[in-house]
Each structure stands twice: as structure tokens, then as C-alpha cells.
Amino acid sequence: MQKNCLKCETPFETKSNLKFYCSRGCRETFNKQSKCVICGKEVKVKGFTTKLCSEICKNKLYLKMYPPRSEKECNYCNQVRKYTDFRIVKPNKKGKNKGKIAGWRTTNNDHRASRCLACEKKEFEGRYAKNPFPQMVSNAKRRSKADGRIFNITTKYIKSIFPKDSRCPVLGVKFDMSLKKGGTQKHSPTLDKIIPEKGYVEGNLIIVSWIVNRVKGDVNYEEMEKILKYYLKNKKETKNFYNKKDFIS
């Protein structure tokens, strides 16, 4: 990439994002001066640190050191991609760096992650296949917040109730730990609330495949029994009942 030297403004080529001077001489003279490197005011700071008189000048120097870019090399696949191929990074909400934004600045006036979306997706899929429990807890927490229901489970608890044979207790099929585009797989493990009104609490959850959870929904045992009886009765009385073979071409 091409940058302009902070001292003499001479353009130079570099592969590092941390190099800001065209030569050692420019770097040493730039740090030795006792004036603000932006506005030129006298600064009472000893040492070779960069002299800045205010937060405004600090922000101006940052913009000068890290100019906005329209494309970047992904830190994982090492391919140069447009900024739209990277995830937008939001300000930190907690900790010492609250309000600060990580990532690189784009010409769209926002900040993006260092990895492209394709690499992030690939890494997440591999992590989910090895350990789906944190994501299951995260999904449950998000749903409970949206529904206004109780949530007090942990990853450790989910591991303790996960079937030891890694099979759905209803269908008997092996859980599918892979992900598909746009959602989960048919036999992905999901958390099902035995009594929906109680929410996600210990003792009220079982792990079943996604299709089972979808069919059950938020109905109770009495409603499930009525639904089952109706469809079994309909299957006996109706000659043209759904037959999977009729839909296979």
C-alpha cells in the first residue's frame, strides 16, 4: 500500500499498517520536536513520544495515520477485498474501551472487521460443529428477551442435558452440527421448552432436533394430543392423504 510520510509528506510503499515514516531520519526528527505535530503549539512533554497538544489534534493525527480505505487485505485469506465484504464493527459497550471502535476505517465513514465475511462464516461453522452449546445459549437468550420470558441457563447446564449418543430423543436421528445458508439444518440440535410459559429455566428444557421443535411450537401436551388424534383420524378416513411417494419425481 502507499502512504504519505508524517514528517515530509513524501509518498512511499509499505506492507505494514504501523509504518508512518519514509526513513529513520524522518521518524527521529518528528519525535524529537517539542511542538504539537498537528498545530505547531509548544508541548511540555519529555521523551520521544509523539507530541500532541489536545484531543482534537490527536484525532487529526489518527486520521492522517490511518486514512480511510475502500479495500483491504483480509488477515486470514490474504485476499484484497472491497470494504463491503467486511462486517461493520460497532463501538464497545462495556469495559475500559467503552465507546471506542476497533477495526479499520472505510471511505463509507464506518469501521470494519479485519476478517472478511467469508472467512468469519467459515471460522464460525467450524467452531459451531465442534462446540454448538455457546451458540444455543445465545440463541435462547435472544429469544427469551424478545418474548419477555425467564432465562437463567448456562453452557454447563446445556452440556449436562445433551444426549450422550448425540441423537434426537424423538426421531432417533443423529444431530447435524453443520450449518446451511439462511438458517439451521433440519436435524440441528435445539432447545425445547417443556412448558413454554416457564421460559428457559433448568428442568424445563430438552434438546431435540430443529424439525421436532418447529412442529411442536409453543403448544402444550393437551394441544399436541388433539393435533395428533386429528391427523391420525384424517389419515384413516381420507384416501388421498399425503403420501411422500406422490411428490417424488
- The residue from 130, 145, 180 where one domain ends is 130
User: DSSP code of 22?
Assistant: S
CA distances from 245 to 241, 242, 248 (A): 12, 9, 5
Do 156 and 183 lie in a common domain? yes
Half-sphere exposure of 148 (CA within 13 A, CB side): 0
Whole-number Å distance between alpha carbons of 5 and 14: 11
Do 142 and 224 lie in a common domain? yes
According to the model, what pLDDT value does residue 247 have? 46
CA distances from 34 to 14, 29, 59, 61 (A): 28, 10, 19, 16
pLDDT in tens, the chain (249 residues): 777 887 777 888 877 766 777 887 777 666 656 677 777 777 766 555 666 778 888 878 877 777 888 999 998 999 999 999 999 998 888 888 888 888 888 988 889 999 999 999 889 888 888 888 998 999 899 989 988 889 999 999 999 999 999 999 999 999 988 766 555 678 889 999 988 888 999 999 999 999 888 888 877 778 888 888 887 887 776 655 555 555 444
Please say whether the beta carbons of 152 and 144 come within 8 A. no
CA 224 to chain CA centroid, nearest Å: 36
Looking at the 3D structure of the chain, how many domains does it have? 3
Do 202 and 229 lie in a common domain? yes
Do 103 and 206 lie in a common domain? no
Whole-number Å distance between alpha carbons of 43 and 28: 17
Do 57 and 87 lie in a common domain? no
According to the model, what pLDDT value does residue 159 have? 93
Do 230 and 148 lie in a common domain? yes
- The residue from 21, 36, 67 where one domain ends is 67
According to the model, what pLDDT value does residue 94 have? 83
Do 87 and 136 lie in a common domain? no
| Residue ranges making up the domain that contains 104 | 69-130
Q: Which CATH number is 109's domain given?
A: 3.30.60.130
